[in-house]
Structure 1
Amino acid sequence: MKSLIRSMTALLVAILPATAQETSTPTLQANAIPAVLEKAVDRFIRPGYRDFRDRAGDFEDAMQALCATPSQEQLTAARDTFVKTVEAWSKIEIVRVGPAIEANRFERILFYPDRKSTGLKQVQALLANPDESATRAETLREKSVAMQGLGAAEFVLYGTDFELLLREPNGFRCRYGAAIAGNLEHLGSELAAEWDEPSGVQDAWKHPGADNAYFRDNREAMTALLGILVHGAEAVRDQRIETFYKGEDAKTLPRQAIFWRSGLTFASIRGNFEGMRTLIDQSDMQELLDPGSRSIVTSIDFVLKSLIRTAGAVSPDVETAVTSPEERSRLDFLLLNGKDLILRLNDDFGGALGLGAGFSFSDGD
């Protein structure tokens, strides 16, 4: 299996650059920028936040039902809605701009990476010494960001002593979990409302100009759109995978992986890649290039599909994923081709858009 993955990787690396370079001087189609920006907002960003809001609302309902009548059936339902909430967030998570990074919303939804286990310690301390103000969403949001998002919810549902959820109606642990879900729904509603406001951030993206607080012109907005993809790809490789797996000879840290308790590590990673692919597709980003150069976007799509497929094939048990030779080969594939994706987005697509040699989103240019 390992040799097969390496062969696939070699084929990917060998074939795609030639495809991407069929046209040596790609030209930006500047007249396509407004439509691409509008589609990115209306077809991807706004629906993505609405979906997260709705899934978080379902999660809150399920947690409240579990608290009222604890049972294995209700716990399973609560976990199922948590999974759907994680999946919805993973797809829109790549949009680390605008309202998502204001008022600490991003960290309040997902505090990660948590290399010093700050969030874990705070959640464990709360469960050991209950504080009723953590059982109401409106007061929970005043506490540490690490105590009010998806990571905290995961520990409530899957962490040590999760069985307490089944022992008594309206127990503290369950009411705390319901407050987290309510807080997530509130944050999702805020994000959806911010982007749905016609004169708000969506207008800034759709109509750059001298008086625009975000973008002075279309090229700045276009660069920000590509930046969402580049930074998203970097976050998956550097913060999601390399946090626990850096390659064959490096020490593995499976319990540093995101969502390892719930087995959603690779579902989350796959969702990130799916979000990137959906953004490119729904915004018609290939329209930014002349027809002879659109193979650049085709090659990026090919890499993303390969990454999505491989992430979906990795064992949900991170301990197994980092110890099994077959599973490690899939992780190696994700690392290698994750890097390739970053280069194709930053260098190939960025270069084709006229960002210039040496431009790098990583450098903050």
Structure 2
Amino acid sequence: MRLRFSLTLGLLLLAVVAPAAAQEGATLSPRALDEAALPGVMAKAVDYFIVPGYRDLSRATADLVEASAALCATPSAPALEATRSAFSDVVRKWSTIEIVRLGPALEQNRFERFLFYPDRKSTGLKQVQAILAKRDESATHAESLKVKSVAVQGLGAFEYVLYGTGAEALNGEDGRFRCRYGMAISENLKSIAGELLAAWEEPEGIQSAWKAPGPDNPLFRDNKEAATELLGVLVHSVEMVKDQRLRPFYDGAIDGNPDKGRPKLAIYWRSGNTMASIGANLRGLQTLFSIAGMENLLPGDSRSIAGSVNFLFKALISASDRVEGPIDAALADNKRRSRLDFIALNTADLLDRLNRDFGGAIGLGAGFSFADGD
């Protein structure tokens, strides 16, 4: 019943959006990017999504530092709850902007230092546990922490501090070391967020390259290269949600047998932020797509592709919001599992529409695949 429900929803959704794409498919060749619209689209992506996204992240990490400091100064259950709430807010803000995995985020290992995931061999977990067991004082100072393994200085490490084995000690005096380690992580996160914001706010920096493609541009020699980068952000991020965020803990039906799920492989499973993060990923993608006006890159008779993409985004966000609660509880509930099936089915469709339909409509060559990195 669960699988049938999911497939029915999926097929219904496909029936709604497929005719427009099929009609477009008959007229996709030859197609070309609307080059006059491209600079404005890139500028809006920077000014209305990327820079505001990093500003939000910077503010959220500052709040986390403040909450962590209060917890360490006066340990209590309310102070711990306030810190956990601030942590969840950082997770949401980061999940919204982490889709921009390029430029400054890749420099100095900033992305991995902020979020080390997936941790397939529990490398990070073991290193964090060792710090706590040995009471390594060098991990309680942001300056010395940032030169340690990327696995012990970001969101995953802080989640274990707040929710992992022994976290109840944070309510009292016994948690002093653990709290100081968490405080150093929060300061490190604030520092990284500030660096990312500063890099994107610099008028002559990466934002300048995004806004003015051309032969002298170090990143984009022409409008097509710039459009490829922008659309690639969406394609790679949808692929990430499908393959790196959902599939590790849930793969639907395997050879006709329902997958029981692997909740401990889900991102942020300890804090219950798994689906909140996935939902924020999807919201960030839809916001970028809409606020940058990416539909303006399409030929006039192909604009319905943008409508199909937006329809899928809205459906996926709605489904993610309805997989509420801890992920282990969601996997034990047939209704919520059916929504996970729906998300898996339709992220695959969304990926295809962005990669093939949208990419083809703006003039990318036959066989071009963002997903393959071509």
Same fold per superposition (TM over 0.5): yes
Q: Any residues of structure 2 matched to 1:55-74 within 5 Å, and which? A: 55-74=60-79
> What per-residue deviation string (whole Å, max 9, x for no partner) do you get for residues 190-248 of structure 1?
00000000000001111122222211111101100000000000001100001111122
Matched, 1:328 2:337: yes
Rounded Cα–Cα distance in structure 2 between residues aligned with 1:342 and 1:180: 35
Rounded Cα–Cα distance in structure 1 between residues aligned with 2:331 and 2:125: 22
Shift of 1:316: 2.4
Q: Any residues of structure 2 matched to 1:92-111 within 5 Å, and which? A: 92-111=97-116
Find the counterpart in structure 2 of residue 319 from structure 1.
Answer: 328
Return the letter of the residue paired with 1:326.
K
How much is the aligned-residue C-alpha RMSD, in angstroms? Answer: 1.4
CA contact (8 A) 1:257 1:265 kept: yes
Higher alpha-carbon deviation: 205-214 or 111-120 = 205-214
* Gaps in structure 1 of 5+ consecutive residues: none
Rounded Cα–Cα distance in structure 1 between residues aligned with 2:23 and 2:302: 7
CA contact (8 A) 1:68 1:169 kept: no
Higher alpha-carbon deviation: 11-20 or 260-269 = 11-20
CA contact (8 A) 2:260 2:331 kept: no
Rounded Cα–Cα distance in structure 2 between residues aligned with 1:39 and 1:192: 16
> What per-residue deviation string (whole Å, max 9, x for no partner) do you get for residues 6-58 of structure 1?
22211111231211243423542111000000000111011111111110110
Task: Provide the TM-score with structure 2 as the length reference.
Answer: 0.95
Find the counterpart in structure 2 of residue 140 from structure 1.
Answer: 145
Q: 2:132 aligns with which of 127, 135, 143?
A: 127
Find the counterpart in structure 2 of residue 207 from structure 1.
Answer: 212
Shift of 1:356: 2.2
Matched, 1:361 2:370: yes
Find the counterpart in structure 2 of residue 344 from structure 1.
Answer: 353
Shift of 1:320: 2.1
Return the letter of the residue paired with 1:274.
R
Find the counterpart in structure 1 of residue 169 from structure 2.
Answer: 164
Higher alpha-carbon deviation: 348-357 or 271-280 = 348-357
Rounded Cα–Cα distance in structure 1 between residues aligned with 2:40 and 2:346: 30
Higher alpha-carbon deviation: 15-24 or 54-63 = 15-24
Rounded Cα–Cα distance in structure 2 between residues aligned with 1:11 and 1:30: 35
CA contact (8 A) 2:299 2:361 kept: no
Return the letter of the residue paired with 1:353.
I
CA contact (8 A) 1:90 1:272 kept: yes
Q: Any residues of structure 2 matched to 1:1-365 within 5 Å, and which? A: 2=2, 3-23=4-24, 24-25=27-28, 27-168=32-173, 171-249=176-254, 250=259, 252-365=261-374
Return the letter of the residue paired with 2:304.
S
The alignment covers a number of residue pairs equal to 365
* Gaps in structure 2 of 5+ consecutive residues: none
Return the letter of the residue paired with 2:283.
E
Higher alpha-carbon deviation: 262-271 or 7-16 = 7-16
CA contact (8 A) 2:33 2:224 kept: no
> What per-residue deviation string (whole Å, max 9, x for no partner) do you get for residues 156-181 of structure 1?
11111101111218711001111111
Q: Secondary structure at the match of 2:66?
A: helix
Shift of 1:260: 0.3
Rounded Cα–Cα distance in structure 1 between residues aligned with 2:287 and 2:230: 13
Rounded Cα–Cα distance in structure 2 between residues aligned with 1:235 and 1:327: 21
Q: Secondary structure at the match of 2:159?
A: helix
Return the letter of the residue paired with 1:356.
G
Q: Secondary structure at the match of 1:104?
A: helix
Shift of 1:358: 1.0
CA contact (8 A) 1:86 1:268 kept: yes
Higher alpha-carbon deviation: 275-284 or 19-28 = 19-28
Shift of 1:321: 2.2
Task: Provide the TM-score with structure 1 as the length reference.
Answer: 0.97
Shift of 1:323: 2.8
Return the letter of the residue paired with 1:267.
A
Return the letter of the residue paired with 1:115.
R
